[in-house]
Amino acid sequence: MCGSGPGLAYTFGMPTIDLSAPVAPVAPSVRGIGRGIGRGTIAVILAAALLQSALASAQSPTNKPATNKPAASKPAKTGQKAAVDLSASCKDLDPALLDPEVDAADRTATDWLVGFRLPEPPSTVSWLDAPAPGPDAFRGKVAIFMNTGSGGTSRREFETLQKSLGDLAASPEVLLFALHTPDGAKQAARSAQRKPWGAPVAVDGDGAWCDSLGLFKDPVVIAVDKRGDVRAVGLSVEGAATAVKALLAEPFDPASDKPTERPAAPPPADASTISYPDHATAGPMVGTEAPQMAVERWAKDPVADAAGKVVVLDFWEPWCSPCRAAIPHMNEMQRAYMDDVVCVGVSGMTNSDFEQDCNKYKLKVRDFAYGLAISPGKSMHSALGVTGYPTVFVVSGDWKVRWQGHPTALTDAVLGPIVQANRKQQAALHPAGPAAHRKDTWASKRK
């Protein structure tokens, strides 16, 4: 280890991340008409490839959390066409079917729907260019829809979906519609008069239906089978056409094929009974409450909102050679646990000294796959007893230290079980359903 450098005093507050120096959420995807242009040629190639390959089978769970790596797909033999299997959750679908611009929050919230009856639209939803559907309106048809607003970009997204479906959209067995979010909902009817959508539009003025579906502002394409079950979420516009064809080909018996009702949720576990792994070399701070984040400036924003996730605090300095040597390992851990972990490198130097040393040792912001915090007061250092660099602390979603040590000792065998325990604890602390998987909901926006 390198010896610790000089620093100043700093104060702490609540044992949670201080959002006045925000842990920035993942930036929303850039969307617009240009998105369709860049993928037009690629879409043709992907569509052809999809007809020659089966979607990957869901992998058996392991102690290591999912790393969003595409599951291997075995190509069909020459001259044969593999069936498109839409029985898996969106995380297990062939990546070629999915829209890469749908972020992790939208995928997680909407994946909860897959395999069960589409939640019915509440009575507060109004319909443009179509009567309000009855309770069996989705039975016997393949439904495909996208949440959208009144803005030009949203309209172009939906128009791209319509063009991708082509003649399928006009089939009496297909129900294509737009789900209008509360954004611009008051102007939806007037906007439709000026420029018709060419398809039914469900206007969700208060966002209740969107919240039950796990949908917020960014467009997400959802496919529903003839029984009324959600079969795929987060589809690309090209993947939507492939999914509709596959669902149309499925047999349907109105007398026996009923929608799959979601089983009643079991009572939540007692979060206090969930235990974290006991590591022999865990360190003296394990089990104690971590200090509040005291950040003067973010040299690089964290990869995601840290609420409820495992946070890895790496106390380091640019002048420390073991710290620099550990950067690739920290990058690897952040990338491998992107959905569950937020890594943050914490420096106790002043901003000017930090920048000067980064220049001296040729360190660039792009060299880091995780957030970089400047904390010259060293209040976190003092509270956690940091005496040398590098030192890592793993903090669970309830903001307690679960492990400490050298960053290179933070392996999958150490971090994986902590992540699994944190998932269980967060599930016990929060209700099940789409809203539990995202910070932003239309209900919270109304408050």
- Counting the structural domains of the chain, the total is 2
Q: What pLDDT does 139 receive?
A: 87
Q: What pLDDT does 283 receive?
A: 76
Burial 222-235 (b: 16+ CB within 10 A, else e): bbbbbbbbbbbbbb
* Domain assignment present for 187: yes
Same-domain pairing of 146 and 251: yes
* Domain assignment present for 370: yes
* Domain assignment present for 117: yes
Same-domain pairing of 296 and 257: no
Tell me the C-alpha distance between 351 and 116, whole Å.
Answer: 52
Q: Which two tokens stand for residue 278?
A: 């006991």
**What is the 8-class DSSP label of residue 261?**
P
Same-domain pairing of 213 and 164: yes
**What is the 8-class DSSP label of residue 400?**
B
Same-domain pairing of 299 and 402: yes
* Domain assignment present for 337: yes
Torsion from C-alpha of 180, 181, 182, 186, nearest 10 degrees: -10
Q: What pLDDT does 111 receive?
A: 87
* Domain assignment present for 179: yes
Q: What residue type is assigned to position 52 of the chain?
A: Q
Q: What pLDDT does 108 receive?
A: 81
Same-domain pairing of 430 and 331: yes
Same-domain pairing of 252 and 315: no
Of 216, 246, 261, the residue that ends a domain is 261
CB 31 within 8 A of CB 103: no
Parent domain of 222: 94-261
Other Cβ atoms less than 10 A from the Cβ of 38: the count is: 9
* Domain assignment present for 80: no
* CA distances from residue 97 to 47, 62, 94 in whole angstroms, order as listed: 9, 25, 6
Tell me the C-alpha distance between 278 and 300, whole Å.
Answer: 32
* Domain assignment present for 145: yes
CATH classification at residue 166: 3.40.30.10
Tell me the C-alpha distance between 397 and 431, whole Å.
Answer: 16
Q: What pLDDT does 447 receive?
A: 54
Same-domain pairing of 127 and 169: yes
* CA distances from residue 399 to 36, 120, 289, 302, 395 in whole angstroms, order as listed: 42, 38, 6, 17, 6
Q: What residue type is assigned to position 305 of the chain?
A: D
Side by side, the strands of the sheet bearing 401-405 are 297-300, 371-374, 341-347, 310-315, 391-395, 401-405
Classify burial at 390, counting beta carbons within 10 Å of its beta carbon; exposed 0-12, middle 13-18, buried 19 or more.
buried
Same-domain pairing of 248 and 115: yes
Of 261, 281, 301, the residue that ends a domain is 261
Strand partners, 404: 393
Same-domain pairing of 236 and 111: yes
Question: pLDDT per residue over 252-304, tens digit each?
Answer: 999 999 999 988 766 656 666 778 887 655 678 998 999 999 999 999 999 88
* Domain assignment present for 160: yes
Same-domain pairing of 341 and 225: no
Which secondary-structure segment (H or E) carries 164? helix 152-165
Q: Tokens 């994946």 — which residue? A: 111
pLDDT digits (tens), the chain, 447 positions: 554 433 323 222 333 333 233 333 333 332 333 333 344 433 333 333 443 443 333 333 333 333 333 333 333 333 334 456 666 655 567 788 899 998 878 888 888 899 999 998 988 999 998 777 776 778 899 999 999 987 667 789 999 999 999 999 999 999 999 999 999 898 888 888 888 899 999 999 999 999 999 998 899 999 999 999 999 999 999 999 999 999 999 999 999 999 999 887 666 566 667 788 876 556 789 989 999 999 999 999 998 888 889 999 999 999 999 999 999 999 999 999 998 999 999 999 999 999 999 999 999 999 999 999 999 999 999 999 999 999 999 999 989 999 999 999 999 999 999 999 998 888 777 655 555 555 677 777 765
Same-domain pairing of 227 and 131: yes
Q: What pLDDT does 270 receive?
A: 67
Same-domain pairing of 312 and 433: yes
